[in-house]
Amino acid sequence: MLAIFALVVLTGVTIVAIAMKVLHVVVGEPRAQVFVLAAMWMPAFARFVATRTADRQWKSPFPLRRWGRPKWIVIVLPLATVTAIYLSAYAFASLGGVPRSPAAWAPRRVAVNVSSHDGRQL
C-alpha cells in the first residue's frame, strides 16, 4: 500500500510540475494557485487510491464515529494544532534570530491555505 501511495503522490506532483513548466507558470504568481492546491491535495488523493485498490480492509486509526464528538472538534482541533505548530515555529525562529522573508502568498490567502489543507496522513 505504501508503494502505491508514494507512486501516486510522486506521479501526480510530477504531472503538476510539468504542467506548470509547459505553461510557464511560476509559484509566486496568481495562476499558480490551482496547481499548488492540486499538489497539496495529492497525498489525500493517493490515500484514496491506495485504500480503494491495494488495501480495501484498511480502517482509519481515528474514525469520525469515535473521534468526531462533538462534531465541531473534527475541524477545530486540527486547525488549532496546525496553528499552534506554526506560531511556535515562528516564535522559536524569532528568538533564535532566524531572518525572515515576506510570504510568497498575500496575507489574505493565509486563511484559505490553512483551511484547505487536508491534514490527514497515511
Res 70: pLDDT: 81
Q: What is the pLDDT of residues 32-91, one digit of tens each?
A: 999 999 999 999 999 899 988 987 787 777 677 776 678 788 888 888 999 999 999 989
Q: Does 116 have pLDDT greater than 70?
A: no
* Summary mean pLDDT of the chain: 83
Res 45: pLDDT: 93
Q: How far apart are CA 83 and CA 22, in angstroms?
A: 35
50 Cβ contact partners less than 8 Å away, ≥ 6 residues apart: 1, 2, 4, 5, 8, 58, 122
Mean pLDDT of 79-107: 85
Res 37: pLDDT: 93
Q: Does 108 have pLDDT greater than 60?
A: yes
What is the DSSP secondary-structure string of the chain? -HHHHHHHHHHHHHHHHHHHHHTT--TTSGGGHHHHHHHHTHHHHHHHHHHHHT-TT---SS-HHHH-SSTTHHHHHHHHHHHHHHHHHHHHHHHTT------SS-GGGHHHHHHT------
69 Cβ contact partners less than 8 Å away, ≥ 6 residues apart: none
**Domain boundaries, given as residue ranges, for the chain:** 1-58, 64-116
Res 71: pLDDT: 78
Please count the other Cβ atoms lying within 10 Å of the Cβ belonging to residue 47: 21
Q: Does 122 have pLDDT greater than 80?
A: no
Give residue 76's Cα distance to chain centre: 16
Amino acid at 14: T
